[in-house]
Homo-oligomer: A and B are copies of this chain.
Amino acid sequence: MATIYQVSERAGVSLATVSRVMNGSAKVGEATRNKVLQAMQELNYRPNSIAQSLASNCSNSVGMLVSEVHGPFFGEMMSGVENELRSVGKHVIIAAGHSDVESEKDAIEFLISRKCDALILHVDAVSDEYLLELNKQTPVVVLNRHVAGMDENCICLNNELGGYLATKAMLDLGHQQIAYISGPLFKLDVRERLAGHKRALQEAGRAFDEGLFVEGDFHEAGGVAAMEQLLKHKQPFSAVVCANDEMACGAMNCARDHQLDIPADVSIMGFDNVIISRYTFPHLSTIDFPAGEMGRMAARWVRKHIYQDDKLKVQNLFEPSLVLRDSVSRR
């Protein structure tokens, strides 16, 4: 592989000049530039980005940490990030945190030692304090989590609105008894979604009923268990709003096992609009979570603040939207 030195030799100029035409960092005479360009061509020169990074103290790479590399949700996010960054010649290094404190910290250490110019994090185990501290050390953008004190660095979804829209949709369809299957309440977004649910009820003049509430685990089995519990309880309901699509699937399957027709007997709503929601039977109504867009925005944040692409605008808060499919009907 040719080096800058060989190029400079062939073009009959100095190293610095070659570097200049590569980076456009200073004026270079037209004729000189052409000589250099041609020499590059002839030698099939490709800059060594490692050396560039060392010399310029900028690795041109950004680290991305997700809970799991698989899973439709993270896939969309990563896809958005990759797209946005590669278009400007930056690369993304991925790592998985597995929703575990040690593992997340480990991965972050790893990315830092890799000299990433910035970190895009989707984490739920580490504390806010840790993130604030980290942000002093290296630029961080946090996805789907609001950390007070670094508001500008957070790209969030209006989860409260999502919860509201889900329940509001059911109310609008005439449902009176609406059960709610929540995610693990230690998560902030879960509590926000629930708050939205409560607000919708309140606006409709209906009280929140503990008997129609179950805390689930975001997994299908948890959805089945939650539905089982609701059904056993014997408190009537005609609609179930779930805090994510997986649990909604579980709830649907459970309802069906109990000979209930969806949506005739019970309407079901998910949250996230992950790919599986389009493959369930009936197709799941849900709240769209623009994960790809948010990933893209996180990348844009990095472009703007780290790679000085000043004209870029970043949007910190995203709005969810209602996706009506076949799992709900008018009561």
Contacts and interface: CB of A to CB of B under 8 A. Distances in A.
A46 B115 CA distance: 10
A296 to B, nearest CB: 12
Which of A69, A110, A276, A292 has most B Cβ within 10 Å?
A69
Counting every copy of the chain, the complex holds 2
Contacts of A86: 95-96, 107, 110
A59 interface: yes
B82 A75 contact: no
Contact of A95 (B91, B252, B278): B91
Nearest to A61: B93
18 contacts: A46-B109, A48-B54, A51-B54, A54-B54, A69-B78, A69-B79, A70-B75, A70-B292, A72-B72, A82-B94, A86-B107, A91-B110, A92-B93, A92-B94, A246-B279, A253-B281, A280-B280, A281-B281
Nearest to A91: B93
A325 interface: no
A314 to B, nearest CB: 21
Given A83-B96, A95-B86, A278 B220 contact: yes
Interface residues of A, number: 50
A49 interface: yes
Contacts of A292: 70
A49 B115 contact: yes
B61 A54 contact: no
Interface in A40-64: 46-51, 53-54, 59, 61
Nearest to A58: B50
Contact of A82 (B53, B59, B96, B109): B96
A249 interface: yes
Interface string A97-128: 00000000001011011110000000000000
Contacts of A93: 61, 91-93
A149 interface: no
Given A68-B79, A82-B94, A91-B93, 10 more contacts: A46-B109, A46-B113, A50-B53, A61-B93, A72-B72, A92-B93, A94-B94, A252-B281, A276-B276, A279-B279
Contacts of A68: 79
